[in-house]
Amino acid sequence: MAVKVSLKVNGKPVSAEVEERTLLVTVIREHLRLTGTHVGCDTAQCGACTVSMNGKAVKSCSFLAMQAEGADVMTIEGVAKPDGTLHPMQAAFKEHHGLQCGFCTPGMVMNAIDFAKSHPNPSESEIREALEGNLCRCTGYHNIVKAIGAGARAMAAGK
Amino acid sequence: MHAFKYHRPSSVDAAAALVKGEAKILAGGQSLIQAMKLRLASPSDIIDLGTIKDLAGIKSDGKSVTIGAMARHAEVAHSADVKKAIPALAALAGMIGDRQVRAMGTCGGSIANNDPAADYPAAVLALNATITTNKGKHEADKFFKGLFDTALKAGEIITSVTFQAPKRAAYVKFKNPASRFAIVGVFVADFGGSVRVAVTGAGPGVFRQADMEKALTAKFAPESVASIKVKQDGLNSDLHASAEYRAHLVTVMARRAVEAALK
Amino acid sequence: MGAPLIGARVERKEDYRFLTGAGQYTDDVELPRQSYAAFVRSPHAHAVVKKINSAKAKNSPGFIAIYTGEDFAAAKLGGLPCGWLITDVNGQPMKEPPHPCLAQGKVRYVGDQVAIVIAETSEQARDAAELVEVDYEVLPAVVDGSKARAKGAPQLHDIAPDNTCYVWAIGDKAATDAAFAKAAHVTRLDLINNRLIPNAMEPRVANGSYSRADDSYTLYVASQNPHVERLLMTAFVMGLPEHKVRVVAGDVGGGFGSKIYLYAEDVAVTWASRQVNRPVKWTSDRSEAFLTDAHGRDHHTVAELAMDKEGHFLGMRVKTTANVGAYLSTFASCVPTILYATLLAGQYRTPAIHCEVTAVFTNTTPVDAYRGAGRPEATYVVERLVETAAREMKLDPAEIRRRNFITAFPYQTPVALMYDIGDYNATMDAVQKLADVSGFSKRKEQSAKNGKLRGLGYAAYIEACGIAPSAVAGALGARAGLFEAGEVRVHPTGSVTVFTGSHSHGQGHETTFAQVVADRLGMPIENVDIVHGDTSKILFGMGTYGSRSIAVGGTAIVKALDKVIAKGKKIAAHLMEAAEADVVYDRGVYSVAGTDKKKMFGEVAFAAYVPHNYPHDKLEPGLNENAFYDPSNFTFPAGSYVCEVEVDPETGAVKVEKFSAVDDFGNIINPMIVEGQVHGGLTQGIGQALTEGCQYDATGQLTTGSFMDYCIPRATDVPFYQVDTRVTACTHNPLGVKGCGEAGAIGAPAALMNAITDALGVKDMPMPATPQAVWTALKNKK
């Protein structure tokens, strides 16, 4: 049965008529056509679907759209400035070659931004632990870890 | 996932009234939604507790900490009250899943689900918690009934969990490298005069380790448990860990937990 | 003209779209009137399909259509072809059992396709697929390759007795046996190279559509080689002319081999799109990916190394059983033969080598090339043998290698390959410094004080990349050429679009190739765009695998560039009223030697498209050239790795403390990208050695069928790597490049297992060295 879900995505109020079994990621990808949020697994491990909900990084494949009723969601499409300037975390990923195929990248960036808010100058081990919920098959994490450290420091410096 | 009917009750009583047949209560959803996606669970109805106000929150009076059923793992992990009263509990909450899962997963959901490799049940048992529901209270020792089973009756919903603050405690877990659930997790809590040791991941459900409790009550020191051999009978055996290996790990993790508690 | 772009750490052109969510992966493609497919798959490893009842499915909401093997047979769709013919020891062709897109009477592994169900939404397609009732008669299964030929083993294919695809051999057996007869010492190992599940982060997707207007098909597919996909699908399966089929592989989220192949789902959605007259999209979920993406490795090998009393290698004898799974995947047959046994010389002057490979069918997912493909298996055999030999001979493991390194080039190995160039002492020297090998004993003492066991292991790998000289490949059984194509299209105002048959799914070709072109043309990199992955835009292509893109695809572009520059020279000569022979070209500037006359490349390009003052009698207008390049030899990247581990003897947990890698990839276009490729490869190699063990139970159920049970490395499982390079330029391509994509995955497992066995003081232990396996090994040692 179709139900209506209303929420805010990237600052804009949106609503969609969905089946009750619809996941938040499905609303984001298929109804709103914001395809930067990806689905890489079906057991909540890869983190490619990570978005920010009410300011916290969550896995949008792991809950129902209905659970996000009224929530304030930000996806990777909402991270850069309106003029296209990259967020410091995005810029750090680019500078440090923290991405290859790009599939895990949006989830990595969304998690990293949330993490950096509470870790302005993270250690290597803090970063690696913060990535428990994000899998990457390309980079070996080396440059992702470097990028997140640099991105966090850039965010703290207000760049 | 299969189709179902979704409900968003505004009170626990309203939620309880909706429970019937194959209905399932939805807390954070970090286990249930996965099972539904894989079509391993197919509830007829989903009763979402997400908007019920009085289920959230964390309270501490120094002697105990009461955690609302819908308190997220991340809230518990970062709570100054919990860190002060029972730092081991905050640490445990900070070890569950990953940080995105911790932002959604709930204390009540984890305890009601009673996954044999989950972390929270070890804290409930070791910290002699009281589980409060809409129907009454459960003692920790009588709550967990084995694989994914608890003393909760149909229509009974956890509202909060009260953990007793120990003199010192620690939780150490050896993670399944793939799932990050516990292959073996041991929670050791010294209440001064009595020690409780709870083991998760090793068996079909969380359990207390009487030999270790006795030895640690006599003397709360790593060497008290270091040579206690745990029987492998009844322990889980799977592709990640045999019962023999798990039995061995219980001793190692218990000793490390005592060392950590003493730090 | 700016600083040279070749060799510079240029940030990637493709990153902006990936970082802002603007990438266009195949699942992001949504076509008008899109419908969705789900597959009914076998829950059994081996069974007869007796009856398929789709009555309930047809009544399911949103149902559109169902097709089974019967429909495919009626439509005369062929089976999935194998692209490489192996000729066995008796001169007979390998056994090639039919590989139907949808089961024809029998299913042979869990996940084998039985039917395609199409509905209005993907969930409805799954709902309907679940309602299809299939009556199976379950048969006994065989899953272990080493048991496939046993007497009484269940038989998969009538045409392959004893489940044997082929028994193949290479090398001089008599010379090898003679070498063993005079050996002072023989080291022997019984090795298992574990089966792996590739797990690119983007699951496979295929979206087929049909146009009645011109009777043509378009397939959007997550593929590493769209032209090969089209060739195989049209010529071998669907019987369609190639010009009626367009294959598009846009942004692809990692491949590692698993997206080289033509899969049944690709054919099914393409064919079905015409039947239902709507686009049909199938998106694999991760659970399906575990079951149906071609797996990697799965060798059981007995290997022996004969030495004289100083540790000089005299001969190597290898017998391998390769489990190819239930059917022959696209390149399954060449991986355990041509890409494996030919690398058994490694970096050493072993004069006599003999290898026999038996490929067997089992009731498991088909096995094919996975990052490294044959070369990691070879390196594992050679480098585990060499390290073990050093221990048995009481020689330093670096020293035994140095004693046997090939130092004169070109070098003809006894297993067919001719190495053009290398400097193995240079990479060994460098890695020993980088890894601070001399400080190891102190670190080991410190670990011991903390109750930990520390170990160090080497691997000196070689690989054959730049695949491949077509004539050589053809002689060895390849059913396709292995050249590459490139096109350089200079626009009137001087910007350039380059079309390449290579395919980037993480490798960064849009940057690396653009660096080459912009550097040669003396223009900003922003003025160069690289286009790949669409058969309607690109003249042809063999795709990306086998670390071939820069060496073969890059060279094709360079050849096209040469033609552009040569034509430009004629135009410039005309414009400068000089003889062509007097015009010199250097990074964007044509000048006349000994004068101050010059024309910028952009001026020449403009003249080519606005040919008012133009040598029309000698030249056509326009500036657009293409080239096909077929390499004259393989390239031979090589390197030395050192891994250092610390083992917790109480739990068996292994921590990779340090990993140092020094590679020789020839010349390097973008060191930043190359380092990233090494990091990723190393991590997959570490995954193979430490965490990734695909397991089936005895009935053929995959027990590691999700990330809950199959562990690909996380950030906490790996360290920061120390990587460096040494350069001997490839002698036979203009860029002097060798390729870098697979090296890490090739060298890492042996280095890691050498380190672990060193730490534990055991001769061998199987991969993956999970905590339980390490703990058990230590317990058994006591």
Q: Going by C-beta distance under 8 Å and a sequence separation of 6 or more, which residues neighbour residue C312?
A: C403, C404
Residues ≥6 apart with Cβ < 8 Å to C55: none
For residue A100, the 8-state DSSP code is S
The answer to whether the CB atoms of C11 and A109 lie below 8 A apart is no
Residues of A in contact with B103 (CB under 8 A): 53, 56-58
The answer to whether A119 and A112 have CB atoms below 8 angstroms apart is: no
CB contact under 8 A, B178 and C770: no
pLDDT, tens digit (0-9, with 9 covering 90-100), for C107-128: 999 999 999 999 999 999 999 9
Express as a percent the part of chain C with pLDDT over 90: 98
| Backbone phi, psi, residue C112, to 5° | -55, 140
- Phi, psi dihedral angles at C394 (to 5 degrees): 55, 40
Instruction: Annotate C168-188 with three-state secondary structure.
Output: EEEECHHHHHHHHHCCCEEEE
Strand order in the sheet with C583-586: C583-586, C589-592, C598-600
Per-residue DSSP letter, B109: H
Candidates B198, B178, B217; CA nearest to B257 is B198
Cβ of A67 and B103 within 8 Å?
Answer: no
**Cα–Cα–Cα angle for C302, C304, C310, rounded to 5 degrees:** 160
Q: If pLDDT is split at 50, 70 and 90, which confidence band does B53 have?
A: confident
* pLDDT for the residue numbered B62: 86
| d(C-alpha B230, C-alpha B250), whole Å | 7
Instruction: Answer whether the bond into residue C410 is a cis peptide, omega within 30°.
Output: yes
Q: Can you tell me the mean pLDDT for C626-648?
A: 97
C-alpha separations of C72 from C66, C111, C114, C271, C382 in Å: 11, 18, 11, 9, 46
pLDDT tens-place string over residues C710-753: 999 999 999 999 999 999 999 999 999 999 999 999 999 999 99
Cβ B177 vs Cβ C711: under 8 Å: yes
The residue type at C164: T
Contacts 24+ apart (CB under 8 A), B141-147: B141/B208, B143/B111, B144/B114, B144/B205, B144/B206, B145/B114, B145/B205, B146/B204, B146/B205, B147/B114, B147/B116, B147/B204, B147/B205
Please, which pLDDT band fits residue A159 given cuts at 50, 70 and 90?
A: low
Minimum CA–CA partner of C285 in chain B: B38
Mutate to test the interface with A, among C9, C13, C16, C20 (most CBs of A within 10 A): C20
Distance set, CA C651 to CA B201, C179, C648 (Å): 15, 43, 6
Asked if residue A127 lies in contact with residue A113, where contact means CB atoms within 8 angstroms, the answer is no
Q: Do C210 and C219 touch, CB atoms closer than 8 A?
A: no
Query: Of C658, C664, C706, whose CA–CA distance to C682 is shortest?
Result: C658
Give the pLDDT of residue C100: 97
Q: Which residues of B touch A44 (CB under 8 A)?
A: 30, 33-34, 97, 101
- DSSP states of B114-141 as a string? T-TT-SHHHHHHHTT-EEEESS-EEEGG
* Mean pLDDT, range B247-260, rounded to an integer: 98
**C200:A136 CB<8 A:** no
Mean pLDDT for C464-492 is 94
Chain A residue closest in CA terms to B51: A67
Give A60-92 pLDDT, tens digit per residue. 999 999 999 999 999 999 999 999 999 999 999
The distance of C370 to chain B (nearest Cα, Å) reads: 21
Determine which helix (DSSP H) or strand (DSSP E) holds C473, and give its type and residue range: helix C470-475
Cβ–Cβ under 8 Å, residues C463 and C378? no
- Measuring CA to CA, which residue among C101, C24, C25, C36 is closest to residue C70? C101
Which chain C residues touch B35 with a CB distance below 8 Å?
none
The enclosing H or E element of C208 equals: strand C205-211
Write the secondary structure of C542-580 as one string of H (helix), E (strand) and C (coil). Answer: CCCCCCCHHHHHHHHHHHHHHHHHHHHHHHHHHHCCCCH
Which residue is listed with tokens 């990806």? A38
pLDDT value of position C782: 74
CB C490 within 8 A of CB C608: yes
Provide mean pLDDT across the span C190-217: 98
* CB < 8 Å to C287, chain B: 38
Neighbours of B223 (CB within 10 A): 10
Torsion of CA C361, C366, C367, C368, to 10 degrees: 120
The answer to whether C221 touches C262, Cβ cutoff 8 Å, is no
DSSP β-bridge partners for residue C115: C40, C68
Which of the residues A3, A19, A21, A52 would you substitute to probe the B interface, choosing the one with the greatest number of B C-beta atoms within 10 Å? Answer: A21
Query: If you measure CA to CA, which chain B residue comes closest to C717?
Result: B177
- CA torsion through residues C276, C279, C285, C288, sign: positive
pLDDT value, residue C494: 87
Residue C1 confidence (pLDDT) above 60: no
Residues 6+ apart with CB under 8 A from C667: C6, C7, C727, C729, C730, C735, C736, C737
Greatest Cα-to-Cα distance within chain B, rounded to the nearest angstrom: 55
Residue-level pLDDT at B28: 93
- Are B48 and A44 in contact (CB < 8 Å)? no
For the stretch B74-112, pLDDT in tens is 999 999 999 999 999 999 999 999 999 999 999 999 999
d(CA C191, CA C285): 33
**The pLDDT value given to residue B68:** 97
The shortest C-alpha distance from A16 to chain C (Å) reads 16
- Which pLDDT band holds residue C3 (cuts at 50, 70, 90)? confident
Residues in chain B: 263
Which residues of C120-184 form beta strands (DSSP E)? 133-138, 164-171
Contacting residues for C433 by C-beta, under 8 A, at least 6 apart: none
pLDDT at B54: 86
| Closest Cα in chain B, distance from residue C177 (Å) | 41
- Residues on chain A touching B5 (C-beta within 8 angstroms): 1, 20
Distance from CA of A135 to the nearest CA of B (A): 11
Q: Tens digits of per-residue pLDDT, C553-576?
A: 999 999 999 999 999 999 999 999
**C188 bridge partner residues:** C304
ipTM of the complex: 0.98
* AA letter at C420: D
Q: For B99-153, what is each residue's pLDDT tens digit?
A: 999 999 999 999 999 999 999 999 999 999 999 999 999 999 999 998 899 999 9
| B9 interface with A at CB cutoff 8 Å | no
Kindly state the percentage of chain A with pLDDT values over 90: 97
pLDDT in tens, A100-156: 999 999 999 999 999 999 999 999 999 999 999 999 999 999 999 999 999 999 999
| Rounded Cα gap, residues C318 and C332, in angstroms | 20
Contacts with C111 (C-beta within 8 Å, 6 or more apart), sequence order: C41, C42, C288, C291, C292, C365, C702
All partners of chain B with 3 or more CB pairs under 8 angstroms: A, C
Please give the Cα distance from C366 to C296 (Å, whole number): 9
Number of H helices, E strands in chain B: 11, 12
Q: Which residues contact C754 (CB under 8 A, 6 or more apart)?
A: C383, C384, C387, C397, C455, C456, C457, C458, C459, C643
Q: What is the DSSP letter of C196?
A: B
The model's pLDDT over C273-296, given as tens digits with 9 standing for 90+, comes to 999 999 999 999 999 999 999 999
Contact C110, C700 (CB under 8 A): yes
Q: Residue A140 is nearest to which of C22, C253, C718, comparing CB atoms?
A: C718
Cβ(C268)–Cβ(C239) below 8 Å: no
Q: Is B100 on the interface with A (CB under 8 A)?
A: yes
Q: Identify residue C646 by its one-letter amino acid code.
A: E
Q: In C, which residues are within 8 Å of B259 by CB distance?
A: none
C554 Cβ contact list (under 8 Å, min separation 6): C502, C512, C513, C516, C669, C735, C737
- Residue C83's pLDDT band, with cuts at 50, 70 and 90, is very high
Edge-to-edge strands of the sheet including B130-133? B58-60, B64-68, B158-164, B130-133, B137-139
Three-state DSSP state, A88: helix
Average pLDDT, chain C: 97
Contacting residues of C for B240, CB less than 8 Å apart: 709, 770, 772
Give, in order, the Cα–Cα distances in Å from C641 to each of A84, B87, C457: 42, 43, 8
For residue A109, give the nearest of C19, C256, C672 by CB distance.
C19
Query: Which stretches within C48-121 are classed as H helix?
Result: 55-58, 69-74
> Could you give the maximum distance between any two Cα atoms of chain A, in Å?
49
Beta-sheet strand order (sheet of C133-138): C106-107, C47-53, C133-138
Measured between alpha carbons, how far is C202 from C726 in angstroms, rounded to an integer?
33
Give the model's confidence band at C453: pLDDT under 50 very low, under 70 low, under 90 confident, else very high.
very high
Q: What is the DSSP string of C247-314?
A: EE--B----TTTTSS--HHHHHHHHHHHHHTS-EEEE--HHHHHHHS-BB--EEEEEEEEE-TT--EE
The pTM of the whole model exceeds 0.95: yes
- Is the distance from CB of A17 to CB of A3 less than 8 angstroms? yes
Q: What is the pLDDT of residues C524-556, one digit of tens each?
A: 999 999 999 999 999 999 999 999 999 999 999
